[in-house]
Structure 1
Amino acid sequence: MFFLPKQPWRLLLFTAVLVILPFIFTSKFQLSILLLVGINAIVCVGLNLLVGNTGQISLGHAAFFGIGAYASAILTGDYDWSAIAAASVGLVVSCTIAAAVGWPILRLKDNYLAMATLGVGLVIYLVLAHELAITGGPDGRAVKSVVMAGTRLRGEATWYWIIAGALVLSVWMAENLSSSPWGLALRAIHASEPASAAVGIDVHSLKVAVFVFSACLAAFAGSLYAHAYAFVTPELSGFMRSVELIVMIVIGGLGSVYGGVIGAAIVVILPQVLTVAKDFEQLVFGVMLISIAFVMRQGLLPTIAGVLGARR
């Protein structure tokens, strides 16, 4: 299943853009913003499979991001584990929690599902914020530098290439999954769960599987964030962080792999551009988001693709 997607030119073009970007934006601040875009995009790629393709809302997805970040921070700092081993534990813990809570709560629908995922996210946030001896509490904690083959990985340029490679891998997996029979089954579930079950699709198991997969990508991105920025706080797993992730995929385009990437770029970069507005920054940002929601209801990327297709 997991080879080149049906339209490999899109992945190749996307990779080429990522290769070119650090030669255009060369300052430390610009590279730092690109790192944040890449990390958020990895989360959005998985979350879009869950929300956009399968139609299952999650208002606590940032919790898995926080688990990955804190697993890397705690295990490398307190127990001197390698970064790869610590990240692997973060993935296992996130997958286990996602499977354990996903099996019962994904039987719920609509508002009840949203409330259940919100509850899971709040519980994990409270644990990270109040376990002072382990997590450092509300003030957060520093993260130990990564050393590989005797070389300390530091600097925005180094971490850019690591995160860019991880993003390409995430997009590649999501593209393959979307174009596979499983991807078709996920979209069928989104359209009608009873009809999907009637043709033999194991609806509940597939919903849990995509929930676990998206949680794994979130935890992976959290580990990358922890080492790239060398500091973590409980706010990384907070409710507003989960809402921000939802905003990213809605703006970019629900059900679009690259839409999640575009949405992450817009939400991260736009506030930096709007700093010239000073006191009106939040107002302008809100108005722009509302305008996009009204004018481009399918999201930015699907709307543009639709207009270009209509012209052809």
Structure 2
Amino acid sequence: MRKHLGPTYVPVLIVAASIVLVSLLPLTNFQVRMATLLFIFSVVVLGKNLLMGYAGQISLGHGAFFGLGGYVVAVGAARYGLSPWLLTAGSLPIAGIVAWIIGRPILKLRGYHLAMATLAFGSIFAMFLTNAVDLTGGPDGLALDMASVRLFGMTSRWSWYWVCGLVLVVVMYLLASVLDSPTGREMRAIHDSETAAGVLGIDVAKAKLHAFVISAIFATLAGCCFVMFDRYITPHSAGILRSIEFVTMTVVGGLGSPIGSIVGAAIFVVLPQFLTVFHEYEQAILGLILIVILVLLPKGIVPSIAARLRPRRA
């Protein structure tokens, strides 16, 4: 047990140390904002990696769960004056129940059928947010009015840096705990072969559902953090493009790699800021860079680089 425990929790220590070290740098407010957004999106991608990289299931609907968390907080606080923190705590079991309800039937599908089913769920939820104008604000979105968060006399931006950094570390620890448990080993077995896992006595449907529910809760938590930090949300945050972005972050960083999840999120958070000088060609250049990365590093950035360094060590 102890032999397996070490490597599983090493990424948690690396990320925690990195968050502390980065805070010592003379960062501008914009750079602090980018780092905070990186922490938030990394939480979603970690959940996606659990589902895709370990359980081997494809979902194109996690933008809906991200939006679910954001809109529960925004609507509850803006329309009914409830505490955003209490709404965040309440949104997590709601997300788990929703994921369990929709996951039971759709996770019986495989391959592109599963992808299309989750895509349909995300599309329906985005349409609801757009059309329910009285509740969600419609296409214009909804603003969140809440008191500034200030920890130990720090500015609001630095306070959110530490809050979201702590959330990321806790999520990474929970992910490591899941992977180190019998449930995590069942998920990895399903990833290799659902048929073989079933022959070995693993309840395939149950393990897949666990991965889906956990990843949905992570995405919802990230959505709550996002709307409290940004104080504004629109249906775009829960749309299909957002779901595709989460999948791309997961694949580019590397399936089955917690550190890869953060690297993949960083590519989408940081790289576009350097491409703004190209104006209308920004998206095209970003797409070209992603294609080059996937061609040269087909397993994702972190696993591919690790695989190339391994023979040199030997």
Inter-CA distance 148–241: structure 2 relative to 1 (3 Å threshold) = closer
Per-residue deviation at 1:241?
0.3
Ranges in structure 1 where 5+ consecutive residues have no aligned partner: none
Q: Is the 8 A contact 1:65 1:219 kept in 2?
A: yes
CA gap 1:258/1:146 in 2 versus in 1, 3 angstroms: farther
Give 1:152 shift: 11
| TM-score calculated relative to the size of structure 1 | 0.94
Aligned pair 1:195/2:219, yes or no? no
| Percentage identity across paired residues of the two chains | 38
Q: Residue 24 of structure 1: SS of its match in structure 2?
A: coil
1:294, CA displacement in angstroms?
0.7
Residues 1:186 and 1:83: Cα distance change in structure 2 (over 3 Å): same
Superimposed CA distance per residue, residues 165-206 of structure 1 (whole angstroms, 9 cap, x where no aligned partner): 000011111122223222221111011111101111110011
Distance in structure 2 (CA, Å) of the matches to 1:78 and 1:153: 29
Query: What are the within-5 Å matches in structure 2 for residues 18-29 of structure 1?
Result: 18-24=19-25, 26-29=27-30
| Structure 2 residues without counterparts, runs of 5 or longer | none
Cα 1:151–1:79 shift into 2, 3 Å: farther
CA apart distance, 1:147: 6.6
Quickly say closer, same or farther: Cα 1:152–1:98, change in 2 above 3 A. Answer: farther
Alpha-carbon contact 2:8-2:176 (below 8 Å) kept? no
1:104-141 superposed Cα distances (whole Å, 9 cap, x missing partner): 00000111111100111111111111111111111001
**Structure 2 residue aligned with 1:58:** 59
Cross-structure match for 2:168:
167
Q: Is the 8 A contact 1:45 1:257 kept in 2?
A: yes
Note the aligned Cα RMSD (angstroms).
Answer: 2.2
Counterpart check, 1:237 vs 2:258 = no
Change (3 A) 1:87 1:5: farther
Q: Which residue of 2 aligns with 1:99?
A: 100
SS at match of 1:245: helix
Give me the whole-angstrom Cα distance separating, in 1, the residues matched to 2:107 and 2:97: 15
Query: Which moves more between the two structures, 54-63 or 176-185?
Result: 176-185
Greater displacement, 76-85 / 135-144 = 76-85
Question: What does residue 267 of structure 2 align with?
Answer: 266
Q: How many residues align?
A: 311
Contact 1:25 1:31 in 2 (8 A): no
Write the distance in 2 (CA, Å) between the matches of 1:266 and 1:52: 18
- Cross-structure match for 2:177: 176
| 2-structure distance, mates of 1:11, 1:112 | 34
Query: Offset of 1:148 from its aligned partner?
Result: 7.4
Relative to the length of structure 2, the TM-score reads 0.93
Contact 1:146-1:152 within 8 A present in 2 as well: no
